[in-house]
Amino acid sequence: MMRQYELVERVTKYDPDADEDLLNRAYVYAMKAHGNQTRASGEAYFNHPLEVAAILTEMKLDSATIAAALLHDTVEDTEATHQEIEEKFGKEIAALVDGLTKIAKLDLVTKEAAQAENLRKLLLAMSKDVRVLLVKLADRLHNMRTLEHVKPDKRVRIAQETMDIYAPLAGRMGMQAVRDELEDIAFQVLNPDGNKIINDRLAKLHAESGGILKSIEAELTQKLAENGIKAEVTGREKRSYSIFRKMERKLLSLGQLSDIFGFRVIVGTVDQCYRALGIIHRTYRAVPGRFKDYISTPKQNDYRSIHTTVIGPHHMRVEMQIRTRLMHEIAERGVAAHAIYKDAPDAKEALDGFRAPAAESNAYRWLRHLVEMLQEGESPREFLEHTKLELFHDQVFCFTPKGKLIALPKGATPIDFAYAVHTSVGDSCVGAKVNGNHAPLVTELQNGDEVDIIRSEAQTPPAAWEGLAVTGKARAAIRKATRAAARKQFAGLGREIIEKMLAKLGKTYVEKEVTTAIPRLGHKNTDDALAAIGKGELSAIDVMKAMGLTIDDTKLKELRRRTPARKADGDELSIPVRGVSRTTALRISPDTGAVPGERIVGILMPGAGITIYPIFAKALEQFDNQPERWVDLAWDTGAEEQRYPARIKVSILNEVGSLAQVAQVISDQGGNIDALQMVAREGARDFFDLDIMLEVHDLKHLNEIMAGLKSRSAVSDVTRKTG
């Protein structure tokens, strides 16, 4: 176990002005608070917060963060209280410990809704102070290092949570070293066989190629030195999970992977990075299409480096990463490195583009942006979807016509680009030009594309766009616009209902009179109330009463009659269904009909009420991408008995008396033929198809008629028309 003075020495070594008294007090308090507590491994519990603090000293973090690491489990696992921590160590450290205490209680691998809510709480806690995230990641890293002492079922749950949430979070915050170690340990637990196969293969390759790696290191170091560049060149193998992920993504076998080895070339300045690149390309043949300049165009998590792949000795393909020392520190430690290096003497050149204070680094700004997106999603599923999209996607970089850089996930389309520029640009998007040429909105954007969005203020984003968009922001905005459009349609339908009812009372619609009545109905504004009427959530009669209109019992009974729908022949039919207002205009689809006993849905037809379809109707497919138009309906079982339309197809033999047999069955069963059309089968003179619109009481009645028809010798088949 690390001694008290050793911890203090670690911190003062990189921060001579560290608050030694604070560190000493936190050490003693945490040790006493945890007392004789032990971990699953049998070691003293206090060793865990001490190791977490040690990990954070490797990141060279400030005294307050180290103190919070020592104290992070005291409130949850001991008798210590938040108030006591605040009194002894101040509000800053108490707030950090409080954030960590709340996170410790979260289960991030529960069912989707609970997982989304817990992830939301996690991100909110982290967004208040990035140091909460740093301590939590160090805490998770030490827990993963000691995972073998945990029960197998819990071990898998922790590993899955780490792979799903904490490792991607570390990557997004630029902490690549932490991410790599978290992923490798989790991979060992979640896929032990795959991990062993890859590690065995790596060990064999290392034994075969170890000498080659050393020779490349020496050769490159010498070449760079001959050109006046002092460089640190180190060879490395890719990590097991990184290899596994690449095999999955590119559908390759282990033997097909050619760039398992890589080299990091660390130089002094940005200028030397580009000079080193030229020397490497003169020394080894470059692989076309494998060059990326993340110095001129940094990743969103502040990562900067030049990547190139070359053919080394023995035809070995190797990746080269060229960067400065400060870039390397930020590549490994992300946001944790900013506080230390932002004031370094050579930071202006080496960290060009990183001039914002640590708390507002690009990576931390991403976290704040993610938290702001909480207000866009209206359901846990939406938030979880958006967050995971943001966490897991690699990126492409595109430009506006004015040269503004837009970072997007791989696979993004011009729709995603438009919403990334601004929500209003996405909502008004009608087309796009990619690199000066008109391109479909489904075009997958590539690195370096210049995208020009064509706009129209009359445009409303179709609901189908949600399936085309890749980014969570675009999907959330499309859903929001779709909901707004549906609300507008329902409000229009509600207004139409009120106007008709007022007309029956001999009055005209006056906006001011309706608006005055709204507060009495419990709605914020007129549009909300009208939309509620259109959806059937609010009775139009209640609006009449709220307007102060006196309605006698006779008139009330007349108004409460359902607005009649129309059959195919134009006669009026009262449709007894639940799920809509009694005054909503209803119509049964003439393509299929619909009868009590079968499941039905309604489709909102702007300006024409609602059309009722049986759930199997083919016509519903055209509305799959317009969920805002669907209305859940059910038959009113208490309704008076009447007849309903049902369309069937009857195949009959082309012989005398066939049609009479069909008509006789329908008549005997108490049905009625409302319409009939005879169609000759193409290429089959012996048969005819009858398209019949029946009138029946319910589904049972319809099935009895169809069974009776099938029993007749002249009938070869009877089916329900689906549209």
What would the 3-class secondary structure string for 377-395 be? CCCHHHHHHHHHHHHHCCE
Mean pLDDT of the chain: 79
Strands (E), 486-633: 565-566, 572-573, 577-578, 586-588, 600-604, 610-614, 630-632
Q: What is the sign of the dihedral through the CA atoms of 625, 630, 632 and 633?
A: negative
**Among the options 43, 76, 84, 704, which is catalytic?**
76
- CA–CA separation, 428 and 171 (whole Å): 34
**Among the options 20, 43, 62, 77, which is catalytic?**
77
- DSSP 3-state of 357: coil
H, E, C per residue of 113-158 = HHHHHHHHHHHHHHHHCHHHHHHHHHHHHHHHHCHHHCCHHHHHHH
pLDDT tens sequence across 335-393: 666 544 444 444 444 334 333 333 345 555 555 555 555 544 445 555 555 555 455 45
Query: Is 76 one of the annotated active-site residues of the chain?
Result: yes
pLDDT tens sequence across 181-226: 999 999 999 988 888 888 888 788 777 766 777 888 888 999 999 9
Domain-wise residue ranges, the chain? 4-191, 193-358, 366-456, 481-538, 644-720
pLDDT, position 561: 45
More confident residue, 519 or 634: 634
- Tell me whether the CATH fold assigned to 4-191 matches the one assigned to 644-720: no
Q: Are 301 and 334 in contact (CB under 8 A)?
A: yes
Rg (alpha carbons) of the chain, rounded to whole number: 35
- CA–CA separation, 236 and 238 (whole Å): 7
pLDDT, position 130: 75
Question: Which of 282-296, 303-317, 560-574, 681-695 has the lowest average pLDDT?
Answer: 560-574
More confident residue, 89 or 367: 89
Q: Residue 163 has what DSSP assignment?
A: I
Question: Which of 121-125, 477-481, 596-600, 642-646 has the lowest average pLDDT?
Answer: 121-125
Token pair of 712, please?
Answer: 């007749």
Angle formed by the axes of helices 20-34 and 47-58, nearest 10°: 150
User: Within its chain, how far is the Cα of 528 from the centroid?
Assistant: 29
Angle formed by the axes of helices 82-89 and 91-104, nearest 10°: 150
Question: Which of 73-77, 246-250, 508-512 has the lowest average pLDDT?
Answer: 246-250
Output helix, strand, coil percentages for the chain, rounded to the nearest 5. Answer: 50, 15, 30
More confident residue, 414 or 642: 414
Burial grade of 533 (CB within 10 A; 0-12, 13-18, 19 or more): buried
More confident residue, 383 or 272: 272
- CA–CA separation, 410 and 475 (whole Å): 15
Domain spanning 644-720: CATH superfamily: ACT domain (3.30.70.260)
pLDDT, position 425: 92
Q: Residue 373 has what DSSP assignment?
A: G
Query: Is 632 one of the annotated active-site residues of the chain?
Result: no
Q: What percent of the chain has pLDDT over 90?
A: 20
- CA–CA separation, 514 and 502 (whole Å): 11
pLDDT, position 481: 84
Look up the CATH number of domain 366-456.
3.10.20.30
Q: What is the mean pLDDT of residues 414-441?
A: 90
Token pair of 710, please?
Answer: 């099938």
Query: In this structure, which topology does domain 4-191 adopt according to CATH?
Result: Hypothetical protein af1432 (1.10.3210)
Token pair of 161, please?
Answer: 């949570």
Give the class (CATH, top level) of 193-358: alpha beta
pLDDT, position 389: 47
pLDDT, position 515: 77
pLDDT, position 414: 93
Question: Which of 19-23, 112-116, 226-230, 669-673 has the lowest average pLDDT?
Answer: 112-116
Q: Residue 38 has what DSSP assignment?
A: B
pLDDT, position 565: 38
Which residues fall within 8 angstroms of residue 507, CB to CB, at 6 or more apart?
549
Indicate the pLDDT class of residue 99, thresholds 50, 70 and 90. confident
- Closest of 491, 487, 501, 585 to residue 543, by C-alpha: 501
User: What string of DSSP letters covers 444-455?
Assistant: PP-TT-BEEEEE
pLDDT, position 14: 86
Indicate the pLDDT class of residue 563, thresholds 50, 70 and 90. very low
Tell me the Ramachandran region of residue 276: left when phi exceeds 0, alpha when psi lies from -120 to 50, beta otherwise: alpha
pLDDT tens sequence across 5-17: 899 999 999 889 8
Question: Which of 14-18, 232-236, 604-608, 609-613 has the lowest average pLDDT?
Answer: 604-608
Which residues fall within 8 angstroms of residue 719, CB to CB, at 6 or more apart?
648, 649
Q: Are 536 and 577 in contact (CB under 8 A)?
A: no
pLDDT tens sequence across 282-330: 988 998 888 889 898 887 777 889 999 888 777 778 889 999 998 888 8
